[in-house]
Amino acid sequence: MNRAEVLRHVQNAEPVMGQDLSGMDFEGADLSATLFDGCTFQGTRMAGADLSASQLVRCNFVRTDLGDCRAFGTTFFETRFERVVMVGAQLNNASFFQCAIAGLALTGSTLDFVTFSQCTVDKLLFKDAALEKVTMASCTTAMIDFSAATLERSVLLECDLRHCKFEGTAFSNVVLVKSNLAGKKLAHHSFVNTQFIGADLRGCDFSQARIAQANFQGAQLAEARFEKAHAPNAIFMEADVSGACFDHAVLRQAIFAGARAPRASFRSADLYQSNWANAVLPGAVLSGCDLTYADFSHADLSQADLRGAQMFRAKLHAVTDPGAQYTDRPRALESEPELLAAEQWRPVPLPG
């Protein structure tokens, strides 16, 4: 099949099946609303082509130029991409399902409501791209370059992102639930309203990052670094922050309820009105902190260092604190006898 025959099939809404279209020139061509099944596009020139509403099933793209193409409502199913250039492309309501991506450059592209599902991703470039409502789920991932990209209202679900590049990436309302970013350097980044629930963030560097209202519930954060991070209203509920460093961080009204924080450091952090109910903090360092109105109800503060911390009306109800060191405890609120009695009340067993 030659170029003219392909375009005739497109115009007549006829499928293009099992064709080798290698080396052909479809620059700026209208290839929309067409089924391409089992076709090969090796070295094919498709810059500026319109693939809107087309379905590309079991196709093979190798060294293909798709720069500045349009893919609105396009579906790629079981399709392979190898060293494919899609720079400056516009993708809207597009989906990649069970695709093998061995090299796809979407540098500077705009992606809106795009889904990658059950794909094998070896090399994918989103550098300088604008990604909104992008979902990547159940994918096997290797190297993805998000450098200088903007991620907004997007989902990266259970993805291994340890080999990804995030230099200059901006995150807003992004879901990274159960994803693996262990050891990543994310200092100075912005993570507004980002969800890290259940994520593996061990050893990550969030120093001076802006993580207001970020959610780290149940995340693994052992040995992570948050020095001078701006994290008001952040949620660390039931997270493991063992040995993590939050020195000089802004954590006003942050929630650490049920968190495990042995040996964690919060030197001179702003923890105004923070919540530590049932948290475990043996050996933690909270010296020089602002703990005004903080709630440590039922927390374990064994061997904790709270010297120099401001504790005006901080709640120490039913804490466990052998060996803890305080200098401002007189201004804190001790256990409430009536509340403690109510919490310890148990019904009397009925006789017989």
CA–CA distance, 132 with 141 (Å, rounded to integer)? 20
pLDDT at 339: 83
Residue type, 7: L
pLDDT at 176: 96
The average pLDDT across 272-278 equals 98
DSSP lists the bridge partners of residue 225 as 205, 245
Q: Quick: pLDDT tens for 248-257.
A: 999 999 999 9
pTM exceeding 0.85:
yes
Instruction: Check: CB of residue 110 under 8 Å from CB of residue 129.
Output: yes
Ordered domains of the chain (ranges, CATH): 41-161 (2.160.20), 176-346 (2.160.20.80)
Q: Quick: pLDDT tens for 196-252.
A: 999 999 999 999 999 999 999 999 999 999 999 999 999 999 999 999 999 999 999
CA–CA distance, 274 with 251 (Å, rounded to integer)? 7
Q: Quick: pLDDT tens for 125-160.
A: 999 999 999 999 999 999 999 999 999 999 999 999
CB under 8 A, 24+ apart: contacts of 217-224: 220/182
